[in-house]
Structure 1
Amino acid sequence: MKNTLLVLMTSINLIACAQEKSYDEYKKGGKGEDVLPSAITPTQSDVSISLFKKLGHLPVRVVHDPATNTLYTCNIDGWVFKVPIVNGVAGEESGFLPPNEHQINYLQGMVFYNNTFILVGNHNYENSSDGYGVVEKCTILPNGERQWTTMLKTDVYPSSGTLFDHAFAGICLSPNKDSVYIASGSRTDHGEVKNSGNYIGLREVPLTAKIFRIPINATNIQLPNDETALTNSGFVFARGVRNEFDMAFNSENRLFGIENSGDRDDPEEMNWLQKDKHYGFPWRIGGNDTPMQYTPYNASQDKLIPADALARNIFYNDPGYPARPSGVTFVEPIKNIGPDANWVRNPSTGTMYQSAEITTFTGHRSPSGLVFDIDSTLQMPYTGSGFMLAYSPEGEGGYLPDEDRAGDLCQLKLVYDAASNNYKVSTKRLITGFIKLTDAEKVGNVIYVVDLAANLWKVTLPKLVAPVSNFLAIQSDNCLRKFSFQNQSANEPMTYLWNFGDGTTSTEKNPVHQYATAGNYNVTLTTRNPQGSTSKQSVISIADPYIITNPISGNASIKGAKTIQANNLIYSGANVIYKAEKHILLKPGFRVDVGSVFLSGIGGCEN
């Protein structure tokens, strides 16, 4: 996240000092800036937000322990903090894992499961630009002791010393908890060679811009800074991702990641991450070709470069730009179909406009905090959706366009598109007015959100509860044995099971069923969602003989009984059909007015 790292990278030179602080010392300083709750506004009436806890540190990640109902946060300096939830209220914050217990002095990623923390980041040397990626695992034993394991280290490689050197950051636990996915991050803006400053000549290296999949029980894996050796290791999951700052699985066990573009006004990406796929970086960003790969290139004529970015001289003619990998097809980002986060800059005129399809989000939103409703605990229209934060710095907001200032929580509704073998996403803003958002954790119908203003927010969405089954049976005018069943169940059922009482069933929401014979049938509807199931039973009666006594005007077709007994008046102008399977008995009270049409015959309902 470019804008996030503008704040986070300032911590690097202070890491050595921060590690020596006790928690009490750390707590005394740097509580961040206050954010007025009134500036944060839900856009939907069924979404609410409150300040859950003012923290004594600047959190970059938040995770939840369901066994103890405790939130854990971490900061860049390597601390892990603990915030218990007692009767729905945030308890006292305390330091839990200090940085001197592990190797990571630039901590950006954390997951938690079964009393185990997995931390991801880099160990940066104090007196040089060199460092290495690290994945550390800490299991809390029953007696409270901590068992640390180094899962992974990389070869030493140099930082580019820039704001867009993202390092090891994103981490995601697999659904069956047998492995973790780790994003290494890029160290360049657009793959350009570093042409100024202290690190001239650096580009991407084999360890950067990749996603690795590591077994959960891994110990002391050493990742080499060599492309062939990395490929042969079997740990490379995907390539060409600029900085997947957050990744998450949806309810279909498919992995998605979000990343931001560089200083150019390219769209930010959301990707469906798949094994052995290449997502284009640095040759493609946000669905656009990187122009510096083409020679000659005149940055001053590029309408997608903000004036401030142009002044930094990172866009220039770069004849040594690496060639695209041969024989590789790049996977394009997911298309965003709006209605929000879909602003694009016209490359010919430089003007902003809202696009019907953008790959994927408005440039410079810096998406973070991706979570999914994988357990379907939310009511419609949120059931099964994803949710994403968008970082927004203070003041001018970096390169954010006026049309989309980010700082929001958005709902993501993904729909698979068979034509492109990819997804499309509908993005809807739910809350606005945040600043410096870094991460989110969904717990039931609550999303906890943290920011670099030292706030822990609580976002509450409507909770899905077990359905209440109910239905209405409507007998057909044209066939007495045929019924339309209208579902009237409440609380968002997801599945329907109808038992029509004659040995047949249906899973349709509103089925139509025709009985073979007259009689009484016990019809049962069972509805279910992830919160439970209920049933509703009703008796359907099909009379035989079917006796008609009420007068008829207009059109009527009565079929289906073995015997029809008619003792009624058919008014002038009516058009009536009686059709029975065996007998039609016209009783003394039956009369047909002049000017009407009456037909009768032996037969049944059409199948």
Structure 2
Amino acid sequence: MTLRSYIGRIYVVAVLLFSSALTYAQQTTAPKPPVALRPDIKIEHFMDIGPQAVRLLQEPTTGDFYYTTFDGNVFKIKHSNGQQPVAEQVFSAADHGITRLQGAAFYKNTLFLCGNISVNNNKGTKGRMVRYKLKPSGKHEMTEVFNTIEIGSTKTVFDHGFNGLAVSPDGKYIYVNSGARTDHGEVQDNGGEYPNARDAALTSCIFRFPIESKNILLPDDEAKLKSDGYLYAQGIRNAYDLAFDTEGNLFAVSNSGDYDHPEDMFWIRQGHHYGFPWVMGGIENPQQNPDWQPSPETDPFIPKFAHAWSVRYFRNDPEFPKKPANLNFTAAVQNIGPDANEYRDRTTGKVMDGDSTRATVGTFTPHSSPLGLFFDTNKVLAVDLNGDGFVLRYTLGRRASMMKAFTEQGADLLHLDLTYDKAKDNYSVKTTRMVEGFSQPTDALLIGNTVYIIEYGGKAGNIWKITLPGADNKKKAKL
């Protein structure tokens, strides 16, 4: 697979797969359907789409479906009874000015879009969020929510940018993730254009803005971002998806770097720091040790095929920033299995299964790239799923060299049964595979007891309709 992590490497693929088509309908050949792993799940092909799909969402006041693409397009799905659904373009990057569009969310009839733009001859980048108040007719009204000052982009696949969005259940705030600009905190100076630049105050963190915010200019200044009340949580490598549970708790799933760290799921709380760049997946980043001499021959956590090894981003780095003495980290949610809980033993370096060792993992199998986090907030699913969480894994182990060392599984839908541990003031999760066989799934949308799952799809993608067992069989998803 060309992508180890969709988030970190999607930019390269997006450039290669750029398409100018504005309307998509049927592919010429039928796609291979995913496979349900329990008998009470029904799978149907909903529609074909074009390439580079990132987000799938619903406008709550009308029920209309939309999806977005990495290169800045926004499509509305038109669906009439008895006819195949068709996607028609509503916006492009020329309309909203976001050329790397990775975040989208609705609040009532207002559409929020977020991502990055390139500056300084593609050597630098700025984050940007806008919102549109959608109208039944006429021109939609756009408002700029924020722009950032310029920071250095990188010549790597690890410049994640602004992406995941979530609106608070009370509608007062919108949250946005800004991913790391590095793999693991190394210097990325873009050919000397940004000397000694590692991660910045504007990266590897989650921001919170009042829902009606506008015309904000965000500085690359941690103290200022905190005093203005925008910087919500820090130390998160790339929380590409954020979602609230039934009790209003905010959770995030994050992909780790090229080292064999597990992929994190975090309970996000204001003012907490989650470890990056010093800790990922509950394992310390060895590059912070001034005497580290990295090599796959001596460190089994370095995959031989890792990009960060081939270009020597793993290196002896005595200038790596020291962890502040008074900084405490909040741990990842601990996975108790039975699925997605493979890990590499820190003592022996061997790949282990948590089911066999009874060890917990923080949180998912390394290199699996969790995406599409959502919760059954309306509690419409059957008793064993009711009110629970779900997440996709983008990577398929048997086609990805780094993940294959752990498992051939992946590209699947996972059920997340979370339990609060009062003593640890954190959660554990029972993780169970429900559907497998997706092709690069990137996002999911729960409507009633039906999950719509969108695929990035290479030259063309799909939306699948997954009907889960409901608490009341009379309540069906409608579109």
Equivalent residue for 1:361, pick from 364, 375, 378: 364
2:41 alignment partner in structure 1: 47
Equivalent residue for 2:441, pick from 413, 433, 437: 437
Q: Distance in 1 between matches of 2:55 and 2:347?
A: 39
Mean Cα deviation higher: 79-88 or 326-335: 79-88
8 Å CA contact 1:186–1:204 kept in 2: the answer is yes
Equivalent residue for 2:454, pick from 450, 458, 481: 450
Q: Distance in 1 between matches of 2:29 and 2:325?
A: 49
8 Å CA contact 1:165–1:187 kept in 2: the answer is yes
Equivalent residue for 2:11, pick from 9, 12, 19: 9
Whether 2:238 is the aligned partner of 1:243: answer yes
Name the count of aligned residue pairs. 460
Whether 2:279 is the aligned partner of 1:280: answer no
Question: How many angstroms does 1:207 deviate by?
Answer: 0.5
What CA deviation, in whole Å up to 9, does each residue of 1:318-371 have, x standing for no partner?
A: 000001123121000010000000001123333211113101001001000000
2:305 alignment partner in structure 1: 308
Q: Distance in 1 between matches of 2:368 and 2:470?
A: 29
Quickly say closer, same or farther: Cα 1:70–1:362, change in 2 above 3 A: same
Superposed, which structure 2 residues align to 1:202-601 within 5 Å? Answer: 202-300=197-295, 301-309=298-306, 310-355=309-354, 356=358, 357-392=360-395, 396-402=399-405, 403-453=407-457, 454-465=461-472
Whether 2:193 is the aligned partner of 1:188: answer no
Q: Distance in 2 between matches of 1:144 and 1:234?
A: 36
Q: Distance in 1 between matches of 2:125 and 2:425?
A: 39
1:156 alignment partner in structure 2: 150
What CA deviation, in whole Å up to 9, does each residue of 1:228-259 have, x standing for no partner?
A: 22122210100001000000000000000000
Local SS of the residue matching 1:450: strand
Q: Distance in 2 between matches of 1:245 and 1:88?
A: 36
Q: Distance in 2 between matches of 1:2 and 1:438?
A: 13
What CA deviation, in whole Å up to 9, does each residue of 1:173-224 have, x standing for no partner?
A: 1101111000011011111123886767331011101100011100111110
Please tell me the residue identity of whatever aligns with 1:57. P
Q: Distance in 2 between matches of 1:185 and 1:308?
A: 23
8 Å CA contact 2:8–2:160 kept in 1: the answer is no
Question: How many angstroms does 1:164 deviate by?
Answer: 1.5
Q: Distance in 2 between matches of 1:88 and 1:445?
A: 22
Please tell me the residue identity of whatever aligns with 1:263. D
Q: Distance in 2 between matches of 1:331 and 1:423?
A: 11
Mean Cα deviation higher: 458-467 or 246-255: 458-467
Local SS of the residue matching 2:132: strand
Bigger relative CO (Cα 8 Å, ≥ 6 apart): 2
Structure with max Cα Rg: 1
8 Å CA contact 1:341–1:404 kept in 2: the answer is no
Gaps of 5+ in 2: none
Quickly say closer, same or farther: Cα 1:339–1:194, change in 2 above 3 A: same
What CA deviation, in whole Å up to 9, does each residue of 1:37-88 have, x standing for no partner?
A: 2xx2111111121211011233100001244332100001110011134448
Gaps of 5+ in 1: 468-490, 492-607
Local SS of the residue matching 2:197: coil
Local SS of the residue matching 2:292: coil
Local SS of the residue matching 1:170: strand
Question: How many angstroms does 1:138 deviate by?
Answer: 0.6
Q: Distance in 1 between matches of 2:84 and 2:55?
A: 17
Mean Cα deviation higher: 4-13 or 300-309: 4-13
Q: Distance in 2 between matches of 1:405 and 1:196?
A: 36
Quickly say closer, same or farther: Cα 1:35–1:351, change in 2 above 3 A: farther
Q: Percent identity?
A: 36
What CA deviation, in whole Å up to 9, does each residue of 1:277-300 have, x standing for no partner?
A: 000100010001111101200211
